Amino acid sequence: MNLHEYQAKELLKKYNVPVQEGIACSTIAEAEEAYRYINSQYGSRFVVIKAQIHAGGRGKGTIKGKDQRGVAVAKNLEDVKNIAGNILGGTLVTVQTGEAGKLVSKVLVAQDVYYEGPDKTKEIYLSILLDRAKGKNVIMYSTEGGVNIEDVAHDTPEKIFKEWVHPGGALPSFQARKIGFNLGLKGDAFKNCVKFVTNLYSAYVGLDCSMLEINPLFKTSDNKIIAVDCKMNIDDNSLMRHPDVAALRDITEEDPTEVEAAKFNLNFVKLDGNVGCMVNGAGLAMATMDMIKLSGGEPANFLDVGGTANAQTVEAGFRIILKDPKVKAILINIFGGIVRCDRVAQGVIDAYESIGNIEIPIIVRLQGTNAEVAKELIDKSGLKVQSAILLSEAADLVNKAVA
């Protein structure tokens, strides 16, 4: 589950991680009030107004139809009105959203951290995620923080440092100090960095994050270490332990079909192809998608109905797949281990009759427990459903359907 920047920062504060303070706003009036409060509370010369969407590249992205970036500096109240007015309700297009962009419903009005002081400021990159190959968490960091970290990783990979941490405990103090040394920090900045990284790692583990990225991690002119931006992903499987975090989910940022699929406990991911697929088991689903590709089609989705497929889940899967106008055929590939194939076949028939006339070809391959009974049910149903026993048969039928 993805979180907005303002939500992630509030969670980090609970772990004593210093952040750039800000207020989330849904209206221009709220943004004006936030500006007044931040100006009086922190003595900010200006505020930064940031669009809140689940995508990166906001600073380089633009609002459709307007000369307005997704992140902008407001130096006075008039700037706040204009910038917030341009962003709120607009569609922000970034390198990660694609041309469709995303609707902006909130902005974060944040304090100025680029104030003058005795030392130089510094932008740093830092992220924590799981390295599956090593079975450890990895902290990646660089002195070259800011909006172009992808270019740094591509052009000068030697500037990206990594620290692997065993997932069974806290961040060892020697590694926290090593990070500070590699970033070239000294004195109070070094001490503050050690505390920051230690607390950030605690937040990563405590919140069951799958990814936590701070870019930029900012060293102020008076040597404070502050998270200016934050991207946080939470492991969906851990949300039962974090009902407060689960309540932060913003379904308006998610694909509507994926949200609907979740209501029926279907594992669904929308793709860009022309063949819808409904399968029980993630491994079989991946193999089915490969088979669709090899047969000349393109998978339109990943849909795993799980091991307890029945008429209700099959019908829900049908309805979700049929919402995609690009779909030219549907392939149902079920291996009857826990689930009986005849029950799935009856579910297909019931769903077909419930939904009504379905114009596109439906190919059903059922193997395993009661597969022969299932094929007989399909063949005698009188429906425009084609059955297959072998995977090669199903592949040929898919090929004909999309040709």
Nearest by Cα to 117 from 261, 238, 219, 30: 219
Which is the catalytic residue, given 5, 144, 163, 213?
A: 213
Q: Is 69 annotated as a binding residue?
A: no
Q: Is 402 annotated as a binding residue?
A: no
Residue 135 labeled ligand binder: no
213 is catalytic: yes
Active-site option among 5, 6, 35, 125:
125
Any binding-site annotation on 368?
no
* 32 marked as part of a ligand binding site: no
Catalytic residue at 254? no
Residue 33 among known ligand-binding residues: no
Binding residue per annotation — 273? no
Encode the chain in three state secondary structure. Answer: CECCHHHHHHHHHCCCCCECCEEEECCHHHHHHHHHHHHHHHCCCCEEEEECCCCCCCCCCEECCCCCECEEEECCHHHHHHHHHHHCCCEEECCCCCCCCEECCCEEEECCCCCCCCCCCEEEEEEEEEECCCCEEEEEEECCCCCCHHHHHHHCHHHCEEEEECCCCCCCHHHHHHHHHHCCCCHHHHHHHHHHHHHHHHHHHHCCEEEEEEEEEEECCCCCEEECCCEEEECHHHHHHCHHHHCCCCHHHCCHHHHHHHHCCCEEEECCCCEEEEECCHHHHHHHHHHHHHCCCCECEEEECCCCCCHHHHHHHHHHHHCCCCCCEEEEEEEECCCCHHHHHHHHHHHHHHHCCCCCCEEEEEEECCHHHHHHHHHHCCCCEEEECCHHHHHHHHHHHHC
Q: Is 236 annotated as a binding residue?
A: no
Residue 58 assigned to a binding site: yes
224 annotated binding-site participant: no
Dihedral of CA atoms 309, 315, 321, 323 in degrees, nearest 10, equals -160
Is 57 annotated among the ligand-binding residues? yes
DSSP lists the bridge partners of residue 128 as 139, 212
Q: Find out whether 45 is annotated in a ligand binding site.
A: no
- Binding-site residues, please? 50, 57-59, 113, 123, 215, 229, 280, 337-339
- Binding-site residues for substrate, please? 280, 337-339
Looking at the annotation, which residues are catalytic? 125, 213
- Binding-site residues for ATP, please? 50, 57-59, 113, 123
- Binding-site residues for Mg(2+), please? 215, 229
